[in-house]
Each structure stands twice: as structure tokens, then as C-alpha cells.
């Protein structure tokens, strides 16, 4: 399944934040989205989540009429997303709005909790979970909605080393399930071994789109030379 973007432009309060973005995303691939703070990574993901107005075209796969059916967005801070008073309830809450039978909701909840290795914590209050467990719960609740593409915005930034590792392993599982995964991140070395493609956004435009090793190399060289110039 292919999600294509053509000449995408996004403005925030009259200022162009994304300019002429054209690319496409496929299910079964992990794409790392890199770039300095303020370059437009979150705006790109939020636009693909259907949360922001845009100019240009986003071309959905056959059979889809709305971005919200196709994509699911996960925030940097899992606490902004977790609302249940137990792990189980949190997943169920997300499903209650889409009119599923009780059996279907429970089937999906069991499936995603097992997949993300949270099934033993079903009846725990999310408040007491570790950072990595909370973030896996946030991902599980979104995954239960069965999006084809997951949009993960700096989801490892707030985690300790173990939490980061857990979440990276979960992301690899999503790919193995055939999901498309877009990860905006500053943690280049953490993700590099697992990603299929890298998009480098510089000041609202795509500066590189291709092989992850090359993308990271170009980005690092650019950062170093800017740093040297500032001194
Ligand atoms: N809601 C908003 N209103 C106005 N400007 C915004 C808003 N969100 C982001 N911006 C601006 O858009 C630009 C891109 O931001 P963002 O997409 O968050 O970048 P990144 O995620 O790469 O750090 C920044 O200049 C930021 O200040
Ligand atoms: Mg951001």
C-alpha cells in the first residue's frame, strides 16, 4: 500500500512551514525523518495524521477516503495520550468510538497487548508503568485502531536506555506485521540499523530522501559545518 504526497505545502499562522514536499511511503518500511528542531518533522507527521490543513495532494491507497482511517499518530510524551485507569481500559477506550462489538474490541485489545508484551500488565494502573511500558501502551492503543501507517513523533526521546530499546524492538515488530512506520527522531544511531529509508528535512523542504546511511552522513556533515561557522 502506498501513501503518496505531491507538492505538499503547510503554513502556520501565515508562515510556510513545509514547502513543496513530494515523496511516498510504503507499508512494510520504516522511514526515519530527521532534521533540526523547527525544521517541520512534527508538522509533516501531523499533516499525515489529518490534524493540520494543507495545500497540495495526499493520495490515499484505493479503498481509503480519509487519512484518519489510514494513519495513527503517537506523541513524544505517552502521558498526553494515555487516558485509561488500567492498561486494558486504555486500549478499550480508544476502540469505543468506532462502533465495534464487545468481542471485537476484546480480541483487538488482547492482540495488541500481547504483541507489545503488556499482557501481564493488563490490570495495572498506567501511572505505575516504566517509560518504555507507557510508550508501548500508547503505541498499542493506536495500533488497535488498525492503521496501515504509524506516525511516531520522537517516541524514544523521553525514555531511558532500556525504554528506548523496548520501543525500537516494538517498531521492528510493526514493520514485520506489514505496517508502514514513520519515525521522526534525533536519535540517529539508535534507529539507523533498523530503518529502510531516511528523509532529511531542512527548513521545511526535503533535503535528502534515500539510503539511511547516506542521509545521516549528510545531516551530520551539515550540522558540523554550521557549528564550525558559528564559532
Ligand atoms: N501550532 C503552531 N502554530 C504556529 N507555528 C507552529 C505550530 N507548530 C509548529 N510551528 C512552527 O512550525 C515550524 C516547524 O515546527 P515542527 O514541525 O514542530 O518542527 P520539528 O518537529 O522538526 O521540530 C517551527 O518553526 C514551529 O515554530
Ligand atoms: Mg517535532
Q: Is 43 in the pocket of ligand 1 (CB under 6 A)?
A: yes
User: Does residue 123 register a pLDDT over 80?
Assistant: yes
Length of the chain counted residue by residue: 231
Question: How sure is the predictor about 228, in pLDDT bands with cuts at 50, 70 and 90?
Answer: confident
Residue spans of alpha helices (H) in 49-160: 67-70, 87-96, 102-115, 131-143
Q: Is 13 in the pocket of ligand 1 (CB under 6 A)?
A: yes
User: Does residue 162 register a pLDDT over 90?
Assistant: yes
Ligand nearest to the CA of 38: 1
User: Does residue 231 register a pLDDT over 80?
Assistant: no
pTM for this entry: 0.96
Query: pLDDT averaged over the chain?
Result: 96
Query: Rounded to 5 degrees, what are φ and ψ at 12?
Result: -110, 125
Q: Please pick, among 154, 176, 187, 221, the residue that the annotation labels catalytic.
A: 154
- pLDDT value at position 226? 83
CATH of domain 2-230: 3.40.50.300
In the reported structure, the alpha carbon of residue 182 is separated from the centroid of ligand 2 by a whole-number distance in angstroms of 13
Domain spans, the chain = 2-230
Are the beta carbons of 3 and 48 closer than 8 angstroms? Answer: yes
What is the rounded distance in angstroms from the CA atom of residue 23 to the CA atom of residue 25?
Answer: 7
Ligand nearest to the CA of 12: 1
Over residues 40-57, the pLDDT tens digits come to: 999 999 999 999 999 999
Q: Is 189 in the pocket of ligand 1 (CB under 6 A)?
A: no
90: its cell numbers: 486504555
Q: Is 39 in the pocket of ligand 1 (CB under 6 A)?
A: yes
Active site residue 104: no
In the reported structure, the alpha carbon of residue 96 is separated from the centroid of ligand 1 by a whole-number distance in angstroms of 32
Amino acid at each position: 500500500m502506498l501513501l503518496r504526497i505531491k507538492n505538499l505545502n503547510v503554513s502556520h499562522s501565515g508562515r510556510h512551514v513545509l514547502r513543496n514536499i513530494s515523496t511516498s511511503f510504503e507499508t512494510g518500511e520504516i522511514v526515519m525523518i530527521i532534521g533540526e528542531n523547527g525544521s517541520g518533522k512534527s508538522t509533516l507527521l501531523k499533516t499525515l495524521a489529518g490534524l493540520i490543513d494543507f495545500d497540495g495532494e495526499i493520495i490515499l491507497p484505493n479503498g481509503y477516503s480519509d487519512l484518519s482511517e489510514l494513519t495513527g499518530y503517537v506523541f513524544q510524551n505517552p502521558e498526553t495520550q494515555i487516558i485509561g485507569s488500567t492498561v486494558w481500559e486504555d486500549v478499550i477506550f480508544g476502540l469505543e468510538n468506532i462502533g465495534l462489538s464487545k468481542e471485537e474490541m476484546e480480541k483487538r485489545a488482547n492482540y495488541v497487548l500481547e504483541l507489545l508484551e503488556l499482557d501481564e500488565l493488563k490490570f495495572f494502573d498506567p501511572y505505575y508503568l516504566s517509560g518504555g511500558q507507557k510508550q508501548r501502551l500508547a503505541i498499542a492503543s493506536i495500533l488497535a485502531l488498525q492503521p496501515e501507517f504509524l506516525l511516531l513523533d520522537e517516541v524514544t526521546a523521553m525514555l531511558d536506555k532500556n525504554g528506548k530499546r523496548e520501543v525500537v524492538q516494538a517498531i521492528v515488530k510493526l514493520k514485520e506485521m506489514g505496517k508502514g512506520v514513520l519515525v521522526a527522531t534525533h536519535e540517529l544511531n539508535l534507529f539507523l540499523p533498523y530503518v529502510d529509508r531516511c528523509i532529511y528535512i531542512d527548513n521545511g523542504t526535503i533535503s535528502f530522501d534515500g539510503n539511511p546511511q547516506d542521509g545521516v552522513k549528510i545531516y551530520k556533515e551539515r550540522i558540523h559545518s554550521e557549528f564550525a561557522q558559528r564559532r
